Structure 1
């Protein structure tokens, strides 16, 4: 459910690469799908939140994706 909510609000997603998540979240385009390595999760969260250009680009791409579905 959180993934759908993030899409609705155009929020970049950093999620585990399980199930169908990688069909929606495209690495380096609208978020990141990662293996379950908590240090890597923390690194990506800090990266996206600390980089306004990436945050805005991912948000824009999520909105485009959401409008297609």
Structure 2
């Protein structure tokens, strides 16, 4: 991840952890977009794709939802 994606990733992970502290539920990208309206949805999706490649998130529904991987 580059520096900008790292900053977006921090916001994504913070928003997700506030939403689901035990990291067990899938969060829809639309819900994430509502929680982070200052970040373009395409940027969120690209950052999540990169995080999935790095093993930081599990995705479902063809990338329409995700959850953070515990202990990552």
Larger Rg: 1
Q: If the length of structure 2 is used for normalisation, what is the TM-score?
A: 0.33
Q: If the length of structure 1 is used for normalisation, what is the TM-score?
A: 0.34
Higher helix share: 1
